[in-house]
Structure 1
């Protein structure tokens, strides 16, 4: 996964996979129903990442000028998971293509946990709205 190169008559533009991951993470968390990005599952627990870790829930593969993305999210309890996942796919694809100029080949969404609104509110009050240490049980793999 090196920097991707877009060429034009004036030279080359290099875009790192980390930049693509941040763009995708910001787009995914802007979708209603998404509680946040997941840092992966360890021992059946999905870790809800804070704002500064948005790219950690995104895996990017670049092939030529095409990006393939795997987005790992946690959703709020009560949302329609397929609808939220579809909106994440659309929003991530549009954001990555518009901002980076790369084409998006795939956006695979992995729902790794469910968060109750009550848990979010308690966590926000308890640590100044930084939810990077919140852990929730994974109910969807």
Structure 2
């Protein structure tokens, strides 16, 4: 499944920005789960904006900050798997780590864009 030209992880294939609310209501899932899914989509969209070299730098920085993610998993991870790893290991800090790393690799534009996207979906408290 694609969302604005981006391929989504298998775990999110049932979601789009317009269908996620109805999906979660129908499935009985909480708003927290819905918010987490939306955050995962935003993280993936921003990682897709990185060049391969920037993505490699991002993963190196991520490994230094999230030391509990096994290095071998991060080294082999594509963008989808990287989002999954961040959310699995640090569900409430994934956005903070991501924006900090974007700034560290001189992609302030992505840090600001992600922050704005979160504000647009009324989740500014996760910044």
Structure number with the higher helix fraction is: 2
- After TM superposition, the score normalised by the length of structure 1 is 0.38
Highest Rg: 1 or 2?
1
Tell me which of the two structures has the higher relative contact order, counting C-alpha pairs closer than 8 angstroms and 6 or more residues apart: 1
Structure number with the higher strand fraction is: 1
- After TM superposition, the score normalised by the length of structure 2 is 0.41
